[in-house]
A and B are shown apart, each in its own frame.
Chain A
Amino acid sequence: MATTVLAPGATRVRQRSAVYDWLTTTDHKKIGILYTGNSFIFFLLAGLLALAIRSELAQPGLQFLNPSEYNQMFTMHGTTMVFLVLMPFLAGIANYVVPLQVGAADMAFPRINALSFWMLPLGGILLFSGFFLGGAAAEGWTSYSPLAGVKYSPGVGTDLWIVSLVLIGTSSILGSINFLTTIFKLRAPGMTLLRMPIFVWTVVVTSLLIMLATPVFTSGVVLLFIDRNYGGNFFDPATGGNPILWQNLFWFFGHPEVYILILPAMGVISEILPVFSRKPLFGYKAFIFATALIGTLGFSVWAHHMFTTGAVFNPFFSFMTFLIAVPTGIKFFNWLATMHRGQLSFATPMLFALGFLSIFLIGGLDGAVLASPPADYALHDTYWIVAHIHFVFFGGTMFGVFAALYYWFPKMFGARLNEGLGRIHFVLMFMGTILTFFPMHMLGLDGMPRRIVDYSPNAGWSDLNLLATIGGFIIGISVLPFMWNVFITLRGPRDAGDDPWDGNTLEWATTSPPPPYNFDHLPPIRSERPLFDLKHGSIHDLDGVAVPAVASGEGAH
């Protein structure tokens, strides 16, 4: 078989110090790892904020946080988790995986890729500096006006919040442009759009959402900045402004944002389930259709966050929100059908994928209840919402992130993470998640509002809060075996080989880790599972029996 070297001069790389190499790299693989490492650091920080919140709430009475500090805690926890943890985790995994999965040598704009990354630690430092400059932002990650205006939140913390989010938002937008260009222009020959891995499809839709929604958020926070610093009047009713304008701008972005956070995770699950079931993803095209439908409908539901304002036309947004449950259901059924009659194995990536299914299911059902305005009148701004968002963001996205990390770790570093430690991590994190967030449904139903530092001892909320706090600490503890696992694995032998999981897609057709130019040679691409085809015969019938390949005269398509 012929061996083609993509870039003959690429192997003659000058040796520089490792630190300089990592600081100046434009290699998507290193940048992906940088994204992931940076996100993990902020994950620990935001996690500590969460533990502070849970510690304060475990019992009634103000124990160690005052109200102003508490408001900063949950604001920073939410902002950090959304913008500095979940989004960049997904961007980092995509950064590493997408060029490999489409058979490209790198992203379309490698230097902009590096820029996109380095804006993140800078944005994070700016955001957290608020703590040392008189108080961080404290109006919730949703930062409603007029509370976020200069009259009611005079400190510099909110301005730092705005500036850091403009930076981080720009990083995302540049990243999304990079992903879309890479996917549309740099696919290996033979990889038509309908032969792309499903993870790549979710990155396409996610990138479109980022590109179209995040700039609207930027415009909103810019208006807030002008109000706060240049005498603007956008959100002040006394001078003709409109507080509801802020909510409309924020949620027009904010709702697509939650799909930005979940679609790539769903893509990860859709990669893992077929590999560990030894069957193709059931309904590949239906899955693409459902993803595109979620992306499109996602722009039409934003005001379901505003049902209680009396300022929006509830029935329209309720209708669209009910509709958007359908494509998610399609995905669930396709996942179940993928596993059905498969040959399932349960390595840690699969455990997290299954955990995702169970927990995200609950979060999704929570959301379906909220699609109804009258039900929302009872549940909005209560702990039911906190339950819902954590089931979908933590049980959904974060479990998807861990599934991805366990799955692609051997590709990145040449060694599989230890399975025993992985199982301990999974069990603790799964149980911790349920224990922390399930009681919050009951708390919300019983009337506990969100964003309160304390509650009355007579409210009857103490026991459930204590339970949730215990669960929170279990989640915190569960991260430790993961960190230890990474540490010992990186010190151990790098013996995973090219294809430790018997995978289907192109990233497993090169070394672990890949060379700087990714591929020495590519298998022929005739389906969305080019490596499966290579291993099990170019074309197989429904029973997995190889059928002789067609004559070799065919060209690229």
Chain B
Amino acid sequence: MSPRVRKAAAIAGLVGLTALVSGCSAMYPPNPVTDQGKDIWSLYNLFFVIAAVIFVGVEGVIVWSILRYRRRGDQLPRQTHGNNVLEVVWTAIPTALVLGLFVISFGIQGRVDAKVPDPPVTVDVTGFQWQWTFEYKDHGLSYTGLGDQGPVMWLPVGETVHIRLHSNNVIHSFYVPAFLFKRDVIPGQVNNFDLKIDQAGTYNGQCAQLCGMDHYQMVFSVKAVPPAEFQAWLQAEEIKARATPTPAASGAAGTTLQLGASNTQSFDKSALDAAANQPFSVQLTNSTPSAPHNFAIKDATGKVLFTGLPLAQPNQSVTYSVPALPAGTYTFFCSVHPNMTGTLTVK
């Protein structure tokens, strides 16, 4: 190797080492906010330190060999074929190491997957293309994500929460990075696990199993609050749910437009017409097997003017009464799947 190449290699090595050391802190997951996450974090920490030591050691030997054993002359080096003792040693020690790591990992897995017999809070999570629904069945509450925000799961800090995962379509995955945890949502199987959050805050979550076109937008968040605040929220939500009966599918007012949704990509019509300054109705028939839909309107600036509720569940038909609109061109869309759009011409 020429001196210039050697110098370049040395500089590259130095830069690499600096990047390595300074990047070490970036090689850790976020600070975990659940008991289970803390266990996982400490496990990762152990693995990372061992891996870093092995990396520096082995890489060091490689670099050392490159520098120290460069070819000088034509004489053959000693033709060592092997050493059985060495082979046994460097088989036995790694075996012992990995067995030790397995035992530690097994213990942590037991703690992370443990479930308590009577969890104070249970939330049923349903994943569909491409939103989440969170249900507090004991309290009659249900929240479905709309648009690109996803639903919010309110949870109490310091209490064990039991989560059950449901799907009747494709596989999804319930993933909250701050919990250092995910579990797959599989049709035909109800996965469940316990969580105990120990720090108040709002934590982002996202589907982690490719589930189709809008997989990247299938987000949600978990809002952890002190237990008293959680109870207050529950009660307020229960009252709201009782006070607002699910809006009955009202009778037709003015003309009734027909609209169908048979998939999660688009409505069956891309254009609708309505008379100006007159209320009208839209009957939405949802023939999608597993995703709810609705009918919503936004104007040219993107401001949402109307959100049809309740959502039309699979194999359901809902008629929405739309208030009068001035003449103009609007966009109708599905709040659950904002990619489903069409043009509403009012004149």
- In the complex, are the beta carbons of A336 and B87 less than 8 A apart? no
- Is B58 an interface position by the 8 A CB rule? yes
- In the complex, are the beta carbons of B101 and A322 less than 8 A apart? yes
Interface residues on A, range: 35 or more
Q: Given that A336-B65, A341-B69, A544-B78 are contacting pairs, would A310 and B191 also be in contact in the complex, using a CB cutoff of 8 Å?
A: yes
- Is A492 an interface position by the 8 A CB rule? no
- The CA-CA distance from A378 to B41 in the complex, in Å, is 9
- A68-88 interface bits toward B, Cβ cutoff 8 Å, 1 = contact, 0 = none: 100100000000000000000
Interfacial residues of chain B within 43-99, with CB under 8 A of chain A in the complex: 43-44, 47-48, 51, 54-55, 58-59, 61-62, 65-66, 69-73, 75-83, 86-87, 90-91, 94-95, 98-99
Q: Given that A147-B211, A322-B98 are contacting pairs, would A237 and B80 also be in contact in the complex, using a CB cutoff of 8 Å?
A: no
- In the complex, are the beta carbons of A447 and B183 less than 8 A apart? no
- Chain A residues in 8 Å Cβ range of B208: 380-382, 449-450
Q: Given that A344-B65, A358-B62, A382-B208 are contacting pairs, would A368 and B51 also be in contact in the complex, using a CB cutoff of 8 Å?
A: yes
Interfacial residues of chain A within 345-376, with CB under 8 A of chain B in the complex: 345-346, 354, 357-358, 361-362, 365, 368-369, 371-375
Q: Given that A354-B62, A442-B27, A453-B216 are contacting pairs, would A146 and B187 also be in contact in the complex, using a CB cutoff of 8 Å?
A: yes
CB distance from B29 to the nearest CB of A (A): 5
* Stretch from B167-175, B223-231, B299-307, B328-336 at the A interface: B167-175
The chain A residue with its CB closest to the CB of B207 is: A449
The chain A residue with its CB closest to the CB of B16 is: A434
- The CA-CA distance from A434 to B23 in the complex, in Å, is 13
- Chain A residues in 8 Å Cβ range of B214: 67
- The CA-CA distance from A147 to B51 in the complex, in Å, is 36
- Chain A residues in 8 Å Cβ range of B119: none
- The CA-CA distance from A325 to B96 in the complex, in Å, is 11
The chain B residue with its CB closest to the CB of A285 is: B82
CB distance from B79 to the nearest CB of A (A): 5
- In the complex, are the beta carbons of B54 and A442 less than 8 A apart? no
- Chain B residues in 8 Å Cβ range of A242: 188
Interface residues on B, range: 35 or more
- Chain B residues in 8 Å Cβ range of A431: 12
The one of A280, A311, A318, A325 that contacts B80, using a Cβ cutoff of 8 Å:
A280
- Is B212 an interface position by the 8 A CB rule? yes
- B195-220 interface bits toward A, Cβ cutoff 8 Å, 1 = contact, 0 = none: 00000000010111111111111000
- Is B315 an interface position by the 8 A CB rule? no
CB distance from A306 to the nearest CB of B (A): 8
CB distance from A147 to the nearest CB of B (A): 4
- In the complex, are the beta carbons of A152 and B43 less than 8 A apart? no
- The CA-CA distance from A543 to B80 in the complex, in Å, is 8
- In the complex, are the beta carbons of B105 and A540 less than 8 A apart? no
- A136-147 interface bits toward B, Cβ cutoff 8 Å, 1 = contact, 0 = none: 000110001011
- In the complex, are the beta carbons of B58 and A237 less than 8 A apart? no
- Chain A residues in 8 Å Cβ range of B37: 378
Q: Given that A147-B210, A378-B181 are contacting pairs, would A237 and B188 also be in contact in the complex, using a CB cutoff of 8 Å?
A: yes
- In the complex, are the beta carbons of A330 and B180 less than 8 A apart? no
- The CA-CA distance from A156 to B278 in the complex, in Å, is 45
- Chain A residues in 8 Å Cβ range of B233: none
The chain A residue with its CB closest to the CB of B111 is: A374
The chain B residue with its CB closest to the CB of A149 is: B170
- In the complex, are the beta carbons of B170 and A445 less than 8 A apart? no
- In the complex, are the beta carbons of B29 and A446 less than 8 A apart? yes
- Chain B residues in 8 Å Cβ range of A147: 170-171, 210-212
- In the complex, are the beta carbons of B106 and A378 less than 8 A apart? no
- In the complex, are the beta carbons of A345 and B59 less than 8 A apart? no
- Is B21 an interface position by the 8 A CB rule? no
Give residues in B with beta carbon < 8 Å to A: 1, 5, 12, 16, 23, 26-30, 37, 39-40, 43-44, 47-48, 51, 54-55, 58-59, 61-62, 65-66, 69-73, 75-83, 86-87, 90-91, 94-95, 98-99, 101-102, 105-106, 108-109, 112, 129, 168-171, 173, 175, 177-178, 180-184, 186-189, 191, 204, 206-217, 289
Give residues in A with beta carbon < 8 Å to B: 67-68, 71, 139-140, 144, 146-147, 151-152, 237-238, 242-244, 277-280, 282-286, 308-311, 314-315, 318-319, 322-323, 325-326, 329-330, 332-334, 336-337, 339-346, 354, 357-358, 361-362, 365, 368-369, 371-375, 377-378, 380-382, 423, 431, 434, 438, 441-442, 445-447, 449-455, 459, 536, 540-544
- In addition to A342-B69, A459-B204, 8 A-B residue pairs with Cβ atoms within 8 Å of each other are A283-B87, A308-B184, A323-B95, A330-B90, A341-B77, A447-B175, A451-B210, A454-B217
Q: Can you sample 15 A-B contacts with CB below 8 Å?
A: A243-B188, A283-B86, A284-B82, A285-B82, A314-B109, A322-B98, A337-B86, A346-B66, A354-B62, A381-B173, A423-B5, A442-B26, A447-B206, A542-B79, A543-B76
